[in-house]
């Protein structure tokens, strides 16, 4: 993070990012802040079911939800998993928040508190049925996360996750494609998911729906790249924006290198949200 005056947001390292942050601070009521969950608001842990928010994250989110036009979490997770891990529904006094789950397939908002979710593609059931046989000889520690609309093969708990992922990827990709799905890489996972849904499309639709005039996007993994690319395109079309990388040794170089601002993992993200709250509420 670039040094800046106390209680000022850190200075982005690009002029376009600086313009995006300035636009957000000048007209926060027309701004969208769209955050990833795993690796950005919650530290990466061995088991997905243990990924709770970083200390202070929920309070920072609650506070900033009152200072800006729209706050969103755009995640690969199912909405119900995110609600459970964050305890969001039990936090009183949360402002305007939208959750787009499973890369935009699912939606929840703090007004209706209802989850909208399409029926899974038929290919999901076929992939689910084929996985046990395909993974029969996979390294010990390989695990499947069933997200109903998609399946995720996790290798983080194997002895050599990189080798395990490299060995499994060709067969898993073929399986997904045979059933009209796509295989998408993540941190020590391969997601087998419906094609045509990514965080870029989800972000563009959200910006149009909330008529945002500026955007801040934060992420840490390949799944966030389409959202970063969308910010570039939006900027070219005249909408200011800033991309933030929640850094850690596992972050893909492409995310770290193209971000306008790099913060130190989920604790750094919480610190950024807190300084934005201070600035906007002051």
Q: Which residues are at the interface with ligand L263DTV3 (CB under 6 A)? A: 36-39, 44-46, 48, 51, 75-77, 145, 147, 152, 154, 156, 186-189, 191, 221, 223
Do 216 and 230 touch, CB atoms closer than 8 A? no
Smallest distance from ligand L263DTV3 to CB 74, Å: 7
Helix H segments across 87-224? 122-134, 161-178, 199-210
Smallest distance from ligand L263DTV3 to CB 42, Å: 7
Residue with Cβ nearer ligand L263DTV3 (40 or 70): 40
- Which residue of this chain has its Cβ atom nearest to ligand L263DTV3 in the complex? 76
Contacts of 225 (CB under 8 A, 6+ apart): 219, 252, 254, 255
Residue with Cβ nearer ligand L263DTV3 (182 or 278): 182
Smallest distance from ligand L263DTV3 to CB 184, Å: 9
Smallest distance from ligand L263DTV3 to CB 227, Å: 10
Residue with Cβ nearer ligand L263DTV3 (46 or 87): 46
Task: For residues 108 and 89, give the distance between their C-alpha atoms in angstroms, rounded to a whole number.
Answer: 11
Residue among 92, 135, 127, 98 at smallest CA distance from 115: 98
Cα Rg of the chain, angstroms: 19
Q: How many CB atoms lie within 10 A of CB 93?
A: 8
Token pair belonging to 2? 């670039």
Residue with Cβ nearer ligand L263DTV3 (37 or 108): 37
- Kindly tell me the sign of the dihedral angle through the C-alpha atoms of 13, 33, 256, 204: negative
3-class DSSP assignment, residue 216: strand
Smallest distance from ligand L263DTV3 to CB 216, Å: 16
Residue with Cβ nearer ligand L263DTV3 (231 or 280): 231
Smallest distance from ligand L263DTV3 to CB 90, Å: 20
- The two beta strands, 97-101 and 261-263, are unpaired
Residue with Cβ nearer ligand L263DTV3 (121 or 280): 121
Residue among 10, 86, 5 at smallest CA distance from 247: 10
Smallest distance from ligand L263DTV3 to CB 147, Å: 6
Task: For residues 36 and 32, give the distance between their C-alpha atoms in angstroms, rounded to a whole number.
Answer: 13
Residue with Cβ nearer ligand L263DTV3 (67 or 191): 191
């Amino acid at each position: 993070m670039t040094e800046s005056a106390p209680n000022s947001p850190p200075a982005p390292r690009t002029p376009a990012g600086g313009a995006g942050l300035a636009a957000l601070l000048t007209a926060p009521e027309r701004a969208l802040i769209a955050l990833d969950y795993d690796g950005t608001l919650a530290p990466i842990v061995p088991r997905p079911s243990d990924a709770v928010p970083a200390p202070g994250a929920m309070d920072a989110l609650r506070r900033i939800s009152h200072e800006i036009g729209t706050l969103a979490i755009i995640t690969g997770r199912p909405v119900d998993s995110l609600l459970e891990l964050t305890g969001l529904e039990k936090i009183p006094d949360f402002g305007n928040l939208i959750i787009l789950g499973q890369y935009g397939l699912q939606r929840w908002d703090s007004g209706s508190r209802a989850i909208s979710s399409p029926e899974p593609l038929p290919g999901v059931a076929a992939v689910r049925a084929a996985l046990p046989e395909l993974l029969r000889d996979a390294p010990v520690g390989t695990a499947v996360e069933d997200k109903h609309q998609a399946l995720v093969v996790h290798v983080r708990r194997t002895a050599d996750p990189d080798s395990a992922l490299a060995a499994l990827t060709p067969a898993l990709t073929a399986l997904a494609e045979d059933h009209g799905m796509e295989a998408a890489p993540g941190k020590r996972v391969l997601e087998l998911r419906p094609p045509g849904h990514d965080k870029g499309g989800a972000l563009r639709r959200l910006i149009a729906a909330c008529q945002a005039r500026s955007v801040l996007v934060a992420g840490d993994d390949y799944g966030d790249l389409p959202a970063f690319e969308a910010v570039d395109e939006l900027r070219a079309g005249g909408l200011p924006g800033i991309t933030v990388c929640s850094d850690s040794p596992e972050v893909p170089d492409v995310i770290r290198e193209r971000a306008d601002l790099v913060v130190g993992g989920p604790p750094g993200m919480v610190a950024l949200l807190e300084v934005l709250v201070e600035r906007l509420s002051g």
